[in-house]
Amino acid sequence: MRVVFDGQGALLAGADHFEPRHIFECGQCFRFAPDGGGYTGVAHGRVLHVEKKGGNVRLWPCTEAEFWRIWHGYFDLGTEYGRLLSALPRDSFLEAAVSFGRGLRVLCQPPFETLITFILSSNNNVGRIRGLVNRLCEAYGAPIGEGFFAFPEPLALSAASEEDLRRLGTGYRAPFVLSAARTVADGFDLHALGALPYEEAKKALLAFSGVGPKVADCVLLFSLGHRCAFVRDVWIKRVLSKVYAAPVKAADNERFVRERFGEYGGIVQQYLFHYARSKKVFAKPAARIAK
């Protein structure tokens, strides 16, 4: 992939492993939406347009400095997905998932935003999550252009009341959002969890009210670089059970995933999840993969 700057943005030439639709529609972020020719959204307090034409991807507006400081890391452009995926032990189901989701990249999002977003995602669908996050940003985030708002800073969100948050539609999640915001505003360093061993970082996140194993793994995978974090939702549980005949017991299931998918299990999981959910692959009985 070659990066060219034109004064208004960045052109990623030969971006074979960058498909905006798969990146923004695979359930890892909720602030980018289709705008006709591509996707427009907000991250790191900036509005960004992303469009792919042919084999090239254009990101704008952004300066060369902003690209290297923000977007290169956000889109994990330092990882060669072609090489990573080709090194995975393949089976027919994973082969189909990787083929379907070609161009999906796991983002590296701001940890606080990711924590709050996935607390809100609990027992929710994508449309409602998107609406909740947008209302939260409009109420407590800084305006950054016509119709756009940054994600709230921890201090701004910590000043809300449970009643204020419930009025936005957060429901029973309101106290969890408020508690997390106050904990981070008081000095808890979420970024530091990226340097900890996976199990230790996960344990620290599980201490937050409203954060269970699934939300913790989402934060670890989508914002802190723990690529082994294997998010288990209903779709992935079906894949593990019906396709791979994985053991049910938690410790055995964890061992199975580590042995089967290795250190990049979280990335593999995202391809499996996106494929299973998008194609509704369990509308009919799934054949198990031979060992």
Domain match, 179 and 251 both: no
Q: What is the value of pTM for the model shown? A: 0.94
Report the chain (291 residues): mean pLDDT per 10 consecutive residues.
Answer: 94 96 96 94 97 96 97 97 90 95 98 98 88 97 94 98 97 97 98 98 98 98 97 94 93 93 95 95 57 42
Q: Provide the annotated active-site residues.
A: 214
CA gyration radius, the chain:
19
Domain match, 151 and 195 both: yes
- Cα–Cα distance for residue pair 257/260, rounded to 1 Å: 5
Confidence (pLDDT) at 284:
55
Confidence (pLDDT) at 149:
98
Choose the final residue of a domain: 192, 223, 254. 223
Confidence (pLDDT) at 288:
53
Domain match, 201 and 240 both: no
Q: How many folded domains does the chain comprise?
A: 3
Between strands 148-149 and 143-145, the pairing is antiparallel
Let me know if residue 87 belongs to a domain.
no
Q: By the 8 A CB rule, do 209 and 249 touch?
A: no
Confidence (pLDDT) at 291:
42
CA-based angle 229:66:198, to the nearest 5? Answer: 15
Indicate the residue type of 84. L
CA-based angle 9:11:12, to the nearest 5? Answer: 140
Let me know if residue 82 belongs to a domain.
no
138 three-class SS: helix
The whole domain housing 168 covers 111-223
- Tokens 């029973």: give the residue: 172
CA-based angle 112:114:116, to the nearest 5? Answer: 70
Residue 140: which of 126, 159, 117 has the closest Cα? 159
Domain match, 160 and 212 both: yes
Domain match, 99 and 125 both: no
Indicate the residue type of 4. V
User: Alpha-carbon dihedral of residues 268, 270, 275, 280, nearest 10 degrees?
Assistant: 120
CATH code: domain of residue 282: 1.10.1670.10
Confidence (pLDDT) at 90:
80
Confidence (pLDDT) at 100:
97
